[in-house]
Amino acid sequence: MSGAELAVNVAGLALIAFIVWWFWLSHGRTERAGAGPVEIVVADGVYSPSRVEVPAGRPVVLRFIRRDPSPCAEKVLIDAAGVAAELPVGEPREVVVTLPEPGEYEFTCDMRMYRGTLVAR
């Protein structure tokens, strides 16, 4: 293998590592609800954070910030909490959620392309 080929391979591996990090790891963080609202950005097909820990049995404010103008992102559904909210583009929309029982609850867009999890503890 020549030096040039080696450099190309190393660059390729670095690119793959970056893509893996970007698509899976950078968006896969968990956020724990504190005193204030939990901000969830809706962009590029993912909720960030996509896992949010909330206290069970207490109301929590989720502040959705939609950056994705595509119709796919226009609604957020949290079935377990009876929430179906329209999200305006670029304007924060707060949703109050109370999950009575500990457990994991999904939140999604209308088409279930955007997916996130609320972890009630």
Q: Give the binding site for Cu ion (CB under 5 A).
A: 72, 109, 111, 113
Are the C-beta atoms of residues 60 and 89 closer than 8 Å to each other?
A: no
Q: For residues 11 and 111, which CB has a smaller minimum distance to Cu ion in the complex?
A: 111
Q: For residues 41 and 56, which CB has a smaller minimum distance to Cu ion in the complex?
A: 41
Q: For residues 28 and 71, which CB has a smaller minimum distance to Cu ion in the complex?
A: 71
Q: For residues 12 and 88, which CB has a smaller minimum distance to Cu ion in the complex?
A: 88
Q: How far is the CB of 1 from Cu ion (least distance, A)?
A: 45
Q: How far is the CB of 15 from Cu ion (least distance, A)?
A: 28
Q: How far is the CB of 114 from Cu ion (least distance, A)?
A: 5
Sorted by sequence, the CB contacts under 8 Å of residue 117 that are 6+ apart come out as 50, 51, 52, 104, 105, 106, 107
Q: How far is the CB of 71 from Cu ion (least distance, A)?
A: 8
DSSP character string of 5-60: HHHHHHHHHHHHHHHHIIIIITT--EEE--SSPEEEEEETTEEESSEEEE-TTS-E
Are the C-beta atoms of residues 21 and 45 closer than 8 Å to each other?
A: no
